[in-house]
């Protein structure tokens, strides 16, 4: 028999709350077995949770994580999943590059505003 996990086992091992695990279950991303009221999670559920957490860390939406997980097909390999993942990584890099440019532009604007304020204060002016 393969190893199974309780919700508290997974929460402790992956350092997340049981509430988060139940949320992912509500979103249809996990489907544990039930023994009465108890949820029994499989090794596949554990891997799915790890993938969700990794995806969230690198900025993927929950919908993107779900899409990638659903693309996995152990009987046909995971080429489609990997190709989609690479495309999403590229998109995320582009988003981050744009955000970096936006931040740099904002810093320049802050520098300019700060210089004007300091110059106005040094010159005895009180309007910005």
Q: Judge whether 37 and 20 are in contact, CB under 8 Å.
A: no
pTM for this entry: 0.75
65-123: per-residue pLDDT in tens? 999 988 887 777 788 888 999 999 999 999 999 999 999 999 999 999 999 999 999 98
For residues 94 and 117, give the distance between their C-alpha atoms in angstroms, rounded to a whole number: 35
Looking at residue 124, its pLDDT comes to 79
The first and second tokens of residue 40, run together, are: 């029994």
12-47: per-residue pLDDT in tens? 999 999 999 999 999 999 999 999 989 999 998 999
- The lowest-confidence range among 4-13, 53-62, 77-86 is 77-86
């Amino acid at each position: 028999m393969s190893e199974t996990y309780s919700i508290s086992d997974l929460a402790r091992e992956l350092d997340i709350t049981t509430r988060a695990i139940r949320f992912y279950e509500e979103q249809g991303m996990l489907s544990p077995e039930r023994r009465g009221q108890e949820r029994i999670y499989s090794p596949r559920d554990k891997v799915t949770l790890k993938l969700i957490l990794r995806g969230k860390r690198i900025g993927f939406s929950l919908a993107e994580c779900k899409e990638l997980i659903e693309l996995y097909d152990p009987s046909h390999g995971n080429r489609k999943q990997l190709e989609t993942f690479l495309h999403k990584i590229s998109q995320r890099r582009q988003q981050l590059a744009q955000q970096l440019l936006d931040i740099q532009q904002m810093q320049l604007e802050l520098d300019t505003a700060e210089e004007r304020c300091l110059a106005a204060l040094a010159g005895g002016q009180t309007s910005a």
